[in-house]
């Protein structure tokens, strides 16, 4: 009777552990979905960030040229040419930095998707090899992204120390082994992404504000007070300006999205998940909206 009781207890515990493990595996699959959507939204944000930075820099150069006047520019052509070349060089560096950060995000998304395929316990050995290869790539990118400055100190100097992640044991051997190796590398990558998004978001706010000020003056205020009929695009330009002005104040949601993704990864590894997939996806999807605002603002400066 005693043996039967012990046997039943062991069986019950195995069923319980199996159910818990199954739930965690499902959560990893959902997390991979969120990671993929983050990358898609991040691509758009990064592309538009580059356009916003270029547009703002062009406004500064144009204002300097206009203030000097054609005669002064002609007399000091070498100096003005050098100013443009210097700005071009700085922007090329910034665009390369954005490319590296975007590449890191892409590899992270691929890693999350790859590791989610290990959750069924029947993944081929090639999938484990692919996952390991992605982890190696991310580790190399961590070093490169850590050197990125984006107008401040290198990102590696502001991310803080790596979190000590104690990975709760998975019954799926391949997943368990990969996570044990991956946890510190992915933690570093996500910390760098957080720092990068913070820098990019702040610069986008500043540069969008500059572009919006110019757009307000050149496409709304100046046409309104000129002794001529208002252009047919005046109302559309005004609406674009007003909507963009309201929306750029919420760029911090992009930062919130990557913070949630980072926290969710740690919690999944440690079996302490509290962040809902819906909440995280909501923050991620808003990133696409900000990219749209950047595009609209850029169009406004070109008219």
Task: Work out the pLDDT band at 160, boundaries 50, 70, 90.
Answer: confident
Length of the chain: 303
- Write the pLDDT tens digit of every residue in 213-238: 888 998 999 999 998 889 999 999 89
Mean pLDDT within 110-120: 82
More confident call, 122 vs 8: 122
Task: Work out the pLDDT band at 247, boundaries 50, 70, 90.
Answer: low
Report d(CA 222, CA 212) in Å as an integer: 14
Most confident of 45-54, 137-146, 154-163: 137-146
Q: What is the mean pLDDT of the chain?
A: 82
More confident call, 1 vs 267: 267
Q: Is 90 exceeded by the pLDDT of residue 132?
A: no
Report d(CA 29, CA 240) in Å as an integer: 39
Task: Work out the pLDDT band at 285, boundaries 50, 70, 90.
Answer: confident
- Write the pLDDT tens digit of every residue in 61-113: 998 998 999 999 999 999 999 999 999 999 999 999 999 999 999 999 999 88
**Sign of the CA dihedral running 44, 50, 54, 56:** positive
Q: Which residues contact 53 (CB under 8 A, 6 or more apart)?
A: 91, 94, 203, 204, 207
Report d(CA 169, CA 227) in Å as an integer: 75
Mean pLDDT within 191-198: 92
Most confident of 115-119, 187-191, 207-211: 187-191
Mean pLDDT within 133-159: 93
Mean pLDDT within 175-192: 90
**Sign of the CA dihedral running 264, 269, 273, 276:** positive
Q: What is the pLDDT of residue 90?
A: 95
Burial class from Cβ neighbours inside 10 Å (0-12, 13-18, 19+) for residue 205 reads middle
Of 91, 288, 98, the C-alpha closest to 193 is: 98
- Write the pLDDT tens digit of every residue in 148-159: 999 889 999 988
The domain segmentation of the chain, as residue ranges, is 22-301
H/E element holding 235?
Answer: helix 234-247
Whether the CB-CB separation of 254 and 286 falls below 8 Å is answered with yes
Mean pLDDT within 286-299: 58
């Amino acid at each position: 009777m005693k043996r039967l009781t012990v046997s039943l207890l062991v069986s019950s515990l195995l069923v319980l552990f199996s159910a818990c493990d199954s739930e965690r595996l499902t959560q990893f699959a959902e997390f991979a979905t969120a990671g993929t959507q983050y990358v898609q939204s991040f691509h758009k944000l990064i592309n538009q960030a580059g356009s916003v930075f270029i547009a703002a820099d062009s406004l500064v150069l144009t204002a300097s040229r206009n203030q000097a006047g054609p005669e002064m520019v002609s007399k000091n052509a070498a100096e003005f040419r050098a100013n443009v070349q210097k700005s071009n060089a700085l922007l090329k560096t910034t665009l390369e930095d954005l490319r590296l950060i975007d590449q890191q995000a892409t590899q992270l998304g691929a890693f999350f998707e790859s590791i989610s395929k290990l959750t069924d316990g029947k993944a081929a050995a090639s999938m484990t090899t692919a996952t390991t290869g992605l982890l190696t790539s991310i580790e190399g990118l961590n070093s490169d992204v850590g050197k990125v400055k984006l107008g401040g100190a290198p990102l590696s100097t502001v991310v803080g120390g790596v979190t000590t992640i104690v990975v709760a044991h998975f019954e799926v051997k391949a997943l368990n082994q990969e996570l044990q190796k991956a946890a510190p590398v992915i933690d570093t990558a996500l910390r760098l992404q957080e720092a990068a998004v913070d820098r990019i978001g702040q610069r986008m706010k500043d540069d969008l504000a500059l572009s919006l000020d110019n757009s307000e003056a050149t496409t709304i205020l100046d046409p309104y007070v000129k002794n001529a009929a208002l252009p047919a695009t005046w109302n559309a330009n005004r609406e674009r300006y007003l909507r963009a002005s309201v929306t750029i104040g919420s760029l911090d949601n992009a930062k919130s999205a990557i913070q949630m993704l980072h926290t969710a990864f740690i919690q999944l590894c440690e079996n302490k998940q509290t962040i809902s997939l819906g909440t995280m996806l909501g923050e991620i999807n808003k990133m696409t909206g900000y990219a749209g605002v950047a595009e609209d603002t850029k169009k406004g400066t070109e008219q």
